[in-house]
Amino acid sequence: MKGPSLYPLTPGARIPHDWVDRSIPANIEVGEHTVIDSAFGFQHFYSEAPIGLRIGSHVTICRTMFSTEQGGEIVIGDYCFLSHAAFACSAKITVGSYVFIAAGVTLADSDFHPLEPAARLRDTIAISPLGNRRHRPNIEARPICIEDDVCIGYNATILKGVRIGAGAVIDPGAVVTKDVPAGSRVAGNPARVAE
């Protein structure tokens, strides 16, 4: 079976023969030999930061979504492979070098909606078509940091405020709610160090 065609990731450019009519955002910085399959992953990239996405060299990106709020910033190191993952970034998500992120993985640095019922109702009204987004309640965001040489398995979820230490392995389906020590392996929901 033939895989997707990959093209150089170039700020502000259009990908040849892309199936979506969209340009790559201009406010990204990309290292050498970094490739992507489609601009589809930027349909919810709203970062207004001077550099909202910084990606190192020799990174491969397939069907990965980069969804940011206006102040969101995503940083990815060198020699990473991202396949069908989703970055939901309100503040900052940092990924080191030599990191593998499998299909179905979600990284979310915020809940993106209040958890308390009355605040959630106010938020729902503010983001409705007739609402005013400036009246949204404050929603907590805490950065995610993934250090070098980490492997994140299929359908794992990394939640706000988590730091994953260098060389750690996140098993498929794990829901990571707290820091993972370097060199350890975690599994389960919530994720715990595997015995």
Enzyme catalytic residues = 113
Spell out a b/e string for 140-164, using b for 16 or more CB atoms within 10 Å of the CB, else e: ebebbbbbbbbbbbbbbbbbbbbbb
List Cβ neighbours of 56 (8 Å cut-off, separation of 6 or more): 31, 34, 76, 77, 78, 79, 80, 97
User: CB–CB of 171/185 below 8 Å?
Assistant: yes
